[in-house]
A and B are shown apart, each in its own frame.
Chain A
């Protein structure tokens, strides 16, 4: 009988087939998330599916797939442009920075803005703990 340490394979939450999509990869580097609180909370990093599954009734295609993840940006400029685009909705918000790695889940560039990415996290991951306050939005 051998006594080797077994690495626990990360599990996905109960996602439908095809989520995360092909092409999603392990992140390695800095990403930015617009948060509701200066100290990011679990709610700040909840996906639309987690907020309310009924939201997905009105979504199709890539929007449906991304509703199981959260929007993040891979550049600070991208995060700032998102804030400028929705100045009123983000007026009480913050930009947080996180160094992400393969432990958190998978990431993919989505939609037409190059800086926009979607992050799908493994089951049990506390996404908000990866992000730290950077600046007021």
Chain B
């Protein structure tokens, strides 16, 4: 018979799968989530009221290695496959709910690890094959989140795809900009949709990292208090939020987003909310940079070569660049930031003009393109000057500290080097057309 370890707000029901160690109860075991994912659960503490555990996502192959003792407990926990882990509190009093939170980092920085070389004591299976298959089959339709998109009752127009698709795109951007500072990414995976007032159920393993912040944001909006300092403090991605609010306002929508496991409706925005807050968000967003808007490619001549490569071949001949895939990606992003190539990778009209120009004109065009880019213009606004030639290149790091809040410290240091290099170089070639 299936036994539930906890009902997790992140995973849904977690069912005991196999017990590996017993000491006054199971203290090391695997569970399977409602979506059919495996987790390894390890006891780390207890007091008079609760047990405390850590749990990690674990693939079946790694779990089998643990079970056949090819992997010790220390290694299983220390070399986890995901950057996150979960901390779980289970009250002795089972009438009280368990709590679970996602933590980004290594377990070894939270606890004293078990001794190396100790393997599991046993494998005592708790799930019959038929029960396991039932969970896997039901898991296909299990969703952790539900997004409800509606229009005010007075509105008669139907909700079409142009209303729905951008919300999904924007939520995806909101999440990934937010978690980029942890150097992790995630995807929103739709599970099912219901027509009418449109409902989309979806899954995301990392959305819980931003749930609490969105709930607090919704509470503040209900009270109509200022949200600017809260958004900046919690590093909620401003541009994605601006897109979401603008879309809701333009299309006269109401959205609510809920966690189906905890039944918590943590984000609710109507056109009235969006209209009330858009001005404040627009103002903040004009001084906000997302990760993809900041270049990380110091050598401008390589940017030019990459654009020329695409223009000559009709596609990017990657071998001819002489760069690694990682560096190609950096230079593609830089060419895109400057407007030389489109999002789909084709050369734009200004990109062609740059290629056909003399070497000196190339740099003048590039100086102007950098000024016109979101990054360049935000730097100008932040510096309170009129053009890129007046920006102090030495302020690059301070600028990113204040305007690119979702970037990690090491990324900011690297990218500020690129900005400083570009600014120093391009200022010599800047022509003021005004």
Distance from A74 Cβ to chain B, minimum over Cβ atoms (Å): 14
The answer to whether A52 touches B27, judged by C-beta atoms less than 8 angstroms apart, is no
Is there a chain B Cβ closer than 8 Å to A14's Cβ? Answer: no
Answer whether residue A4 sits at the interface, using C-beta atoms and an 8 A cutoff: no
Complexed CA–CA distance, A66 and B94 (Å): 19
Write the residues of chain A forming the contact surface with B, with a CB cutoff of 8 angstroms: 34, 43, 47-48, 51-52, 54-55, 57-63, 66-67, 70-71, 81-82, 84-89, 91, 110-113, 116
Contacts A57-B94, A58-B16: A88 and B25 contacting too (C-beta < 8 A)? Answer: no
Question: Nearest chain A CB to B90's CB is how many angstroms away?
Answer: 9
Q: Cβ of B94 and Cβ of A52 under 8 Å apart?
A: yes
B24, B73, B113: the one within 8 Å of A70 (CB): B24
Chain B neighbourhood of A81, CB < 8 A: 118
Q: Which residues of B contact A110 (CB under 8 A)?
A: 22
Q: Which of A57, A59, A85 contacts B114 (CB 8 A)?
A: A85
Residue from B1, B23, B112, B122 within 8 A of A71 (CB atoms): B23
B4 at the binding interface (Cβ < 8 Å)? yes
* Additional 14 contacts, C-beta under 8 A, given A47-B24, A89-B45, A112-B122: A57-B94, A62-B124, A63-B124, A81-B118, A86-B27, A86-B43, A86-B44, A87-B112, A87-B113, A87-B114, A87-B115, A88-B45, A110-B22, A116-B22
Q: Main SS of the interface on chain A?
A: mixed
Say whether A48 contacts B24, CB under 8 Å.
yes
Q: Given the known A-B contacts A58-B3, A60-B3, A111-B121, are A86 and B23 also in contact in the complex, defined by CB atoms under 8 Å?
A: yes
Q: Which residues of A contact B115 (CB under 8 A)?
A: 84-85, 87
* Chain B residues within an 8 Å CB radius of A85: 21, 23, 28, 73, 114-115, 118
- B83 cross-chain contacts in A, Cβ below 8 A: none
In the assembled complex, 16 residue pairs joining A and B whose CB atoms fall closer than 8 Å, in A order, are: A58-B5, A62-B124, A63-B22, A71-B22, A81-B118, A84-B118, A85-B114, A85-B115, A86-B27, A87-B111, A87-B113, A88-B44, A88-B113, A88-B114, A89-B46, A116-B22
- Bound complex: CA A69 to CA B144 (Å): 39
Once bound together, how far apart are the Cα atoms of A15 and B274, in whole Å?
62
Select the residue from A63, A71, A116 with max chain B CB neighbours within 10 A.
Answer: A63
Give chain A residues whose Cβ lies under 8 Å from the Cβ of B23: 34, 71, 82, 85-86, 116
Chain A's closest residue to B5 (CB) is A58
> Residues on B close to A: CB < 8 A?
1, 3-5, 16, 19, 21-28, 43-46, 48, 73, 92-95, 111-115, 118, 121-122, 124, 126
Q: How far is the CB of B111 from chain A (nearest CB, A)?
A: 4
Knowing A63-B22, A87-B114 touch, does A55 contact B94 (C-beta < 8 A)?
yes
| CB contact under 8 A between A59 and B3, given known A111-B121, A116-B121 | yes
Q: Which of A43, A55, A67, A89 contacts B43 (CB 8 A)?
A: A89
A54:B94 contact, CB within 8 angstroms? yes
Q: Give the nearest-CB partner of A92 in chain B.
A: B45
Cβ A63 vs Cβ B46 within 8 A: no
Which residue of the partner chain B has the closest CB to A110?
Answer: B22
Which residue on B lies nearest to A112, using beta carbons? B122
For A88, give the chain B residue with the smallest CB separation: B111
Q: Which residues of B contact A91 (CB under 8 A)?
A: 112
Q: When the two chains form their complex, are residues A52 and B3 in contact, meaning their CB atoms are under 8 A apart?
A: no
Residue on A nearest B54 in the bound complex, by CB = A88
The residue among B23, B26, B112, B114 with the most chain A CB atoms within 10 A of its own CB is B23
- Interface contact B112-A55, CB-CB below 8 Å: no
Of all chain B residues, the one with the shortest Cβ separation from A69 is B24
Query: Closest Cβ of chain B: how far from A56's Cβ, in Å?
Result: 9
Q: Which 3 A-B pairs have the closest CB atoms?
A: A84-B115, A54-B94, A112-B122
Residues from chain B with Cβ under 8 Å of A59 in the complex: 3, 25-26
Collect the chain A residues with CB atoms within 8 Å of residue B19's CB. 63
Q: Which residues of A contact B126 (CB under 8 A)?
A: 60
Residues of B within 8 A of A58 (CB): 3-5, 16, 94
Q: Nearest chain B CB to A137's CB is how many angstroms away?
A: 11
In the assembled complex, which residues on chain A have CB atoms less than 8 Å from the CB atom of B92?
A: 51-52, 54-55
Asked if B122 and A67 make an inter-chain contact with CB atoms under 8 angstroms apart, the answer reads no
Contacts of A63 in B (CB 8 A): 19, 22, 25-26, 124
Output the residue of A60, A62, A89, A113 with the most chain B CB within 10 A: A89
Of A34, A51, A61, the most chain B CB neighbours within 10 A belong to A51
Contacts of B111 in A (CB 8 A): 87-88
CA distance A59 to B236 in the complex (A): 43
Query: What residues of A have a CB within 8 angstroms of the CB of B22 in the complex?
Result: 63, 66, 71, 110-111, 116
Instruction: Please name the residue on chain A nearest to B42 by beta carbon.
Output: A86
A78 to chain B, nearest CB (A): 11
Whether B121 contacts A54 by the Cβ 8 Å rule is no
A89 to B44, CA, bound (A): 4
- Distance A10 CA – B92 CA, assembled complex (angstroms): 30
Chain A nearest CB from B76 CB (Å) reads: 12
Known: A60-B126, A88-B113, A111-B121. A55 touches B25 (CB 8 A): yes
Kindly state the separation between the CA atoms of A52 and B115 in the bound complex, as whole angstroms: 30
Nearest to B93 among chain A residues (CB) is A52
Min CB distance B71 to A, Å, is 14
Determine the chain B residues whose CB is within 8 A of the CB of A62 once the complex forms. Answer: 124
List the A side residues contacting B24 at CB < 8 Å.
47-48, 70-71
A87 to B116, CA, bound (A): 11
